[in-house]
Amino acid sequence: MKSIDLMYQTMLAELGQRSLDAAWTADFPPEGRFTPANIKGRKYWYFDIPDGHGGTKRRYVGSADDPDIAQRVADHKRDKDDLRARRRLVNTLAREGGMIAPDAMSGDIVEVLADGGLFRLRGVLIGTVAFQCYSGLLGVRLPMAAILTGDADIAQDYAISREVEDSLPPIVELLQRVDASFRPVPHRSGSVASSAFQNADGYRVEFLTSNRGSDDYIDQPAKMPALGGASADPLRFLDFLIREPVRTMLLHRSGVPVVVPDPSRYAVHKLIVASRRHTDGQGLAKREKDVRQAALLFEALQQTRRSADLALVYNEAWERGSAWQEGIRTGAGMLPAQDAERLRTVLIEGAKKNREEIELPFGE
């Protein structure tokens, strides 16, 4: 697995810092521009913004003599110049640096949800779109075949959604900013609540949450106060995946700051998920993808000297009981021989670094 040059890893860190530092306002978005106008001998500022139909809408801002407004105009130009610079950074990282950029639909979906406050409200991007972020996060090149997707999965802890006392705007309205054909998908339980949305081309956005300790909740959508009217499907093992997530960048447009699972947790979780996939319909293909992504992350974690991280979260999962152990054993048994041997090696290495005992998922 080829490493990404340190120069590009440094550029990604710079992009992340500049994106987090940028202060965008709803009143003066970067696609607009301040325009001066002279009226009866006095200078005033207006703000022009595209109306989406080839024209512009003009908004009055105030007198050019107002020092606060003058500062606002200067800051907007600075921020707009920075936006262009960040777009160039994203292009360089994706085209020359060997990092992964999402497809346009996935990028637009994540961006509109991020702008709506998803990650501020402690949402976590999971699934293959999150996997695409690990190339830059870990500093390794990942093969394109493992990152193709036609959906976006979002998770939020159930307790967090109830406690933050804030909410995204209506989810369906946010998604329709990207594609007007997005509609709620009827829930399989027959509930009027919806945890998934789909457009006319079949692109699916699904919301998931941690299970609350009983399988009675599995087939019923959970009400999520922070998710803008969307519910979420409770899933076993999800709390492990989204515990202690990490911040990174999605290389879309000028860069989208996102929150994704720790890559070690993602890898172990994929083994468990693979063990529970059905083999009918798309289940087999999804299972193969789960195993492939897990194997790639085991390799990347070994190469980047993160074996201790992997061993630590592996032990956490293993110690959760027999159902977890069975899932890990079954998933690990699906790994090709070379990848299984790598997992064995990296777990032993990591356990030694952590000075912990470890029970391997393979027979001796």
Global pTM reads 0.84
Confidence of residue 146 (pLDDT cuts 50, 70, 90): low
Rounded to whole angstroms, what are the CA distances from 50 to 31, 59, 87? 7, 11, 20
- pLDDT at residue number 67: 85
Alpha-carbon span 124 to 149, nearest angstrom = 17
The 10s digit of each residue's pLDDT in 94-119 is 999 989 999 999 999 999 999 888 99
pLDDT, tens digit (0-9, with 9 covering 90-100), for 271-300: 999 999 887 778 888 899 999 999 999 999
The residue ranking higher by pLDDT, 364 or 268, is: 268
Which residue is it, tokens 């009143």? 27
d(CA 311, CA 347): 5
Q: Which two tokens stand for residue 41?
A: 């001998």
Is the pLDDT assigned to residue 326 strictly greater than 90? yes
- Summarize the chain as % helix, strand, coil (round to 5): 45, 15, 35
CA 297 – CA 68 distance, rounded (Å): 50
Torsion sign across C-alpha atoms 174, 179, 181, 183: negative
| The pLDDT of residue 313 is above 70 | yes
Q: For 281-301, give the secondary structure using H, E and C.
A: CCHHHHHHHHHHHHHHHHHHH
pLDDT-derived band at 356 (thresholds 50, 70, 90) equals: very high
Long-range Cβ pairs for the range 85-92 (8 Å, 24+) = 85/18, 86/15, 86/18, 86/19, 86/254, 86/255, 87/253, 87/254, 89/11, 89/14, 89/15, 89/255, 90/15, 90/251, 90/252, 90/253, 90/254, 90/255, 92/8, 92/11
Quickly state the pLDDT bin for 224 (edges 50, 70, 90).
very high
| 59 pLDDT above the threshold of 90 | no
- Of 61, 83, 81, 84, the closest CA to residue 72 belongs to 61
**Tally of CB atoms within 10 A around 93:** 24
282 neighbors 137 (Cβ within 8 angstroms): no
Distance of CA 259 to the CA centre of its chain: 6
Confidence of residue 24 (pLDDT cuts 50, 70, 90): very low
Residue 340, pLDDT > 50, answer: yes
Q: Which of 14-23, 104-113, 146-155, 199-208 has the lowest mean pLDDT?
A: 14-23
Structure confidence by residue, pLDDT tens digits, 227-268: 999 999 999 899 999 999 999 999 999 999 999 999 999 999
pLDDT over 80 (residue 302): yes
Average pLDDT value for the chain: 89
Would you say residue 341 has pLDDT above 70?
Answer: yes
Task: Tell me the C-alpha distance between 172 and 76, whole Å.
Answer: 30
Q: What is the pLDDT of residues 197-209, one digit of tens each?
A: 999 999 999 999 9
Kindly indicate the confidence band of residue 23, based on its pLDDT and cuts at 50, 70 and 90: very low
Cα Rg of the chain (Å, integer)? 23
CA separation (Å) from 66 to 43, 61, 72, 179? 10, 10, 10, 40
Residue 29 — φ and ψ, nearest 5°? -65, 160
Helix (H, G, I), strand (E, B) or coil at 2: coil
Handedness of CA 324, 325, 331, 336 (dihedral sign): positive
Please say whether the beta carbons of 136 and 12 come within 8 A: yes
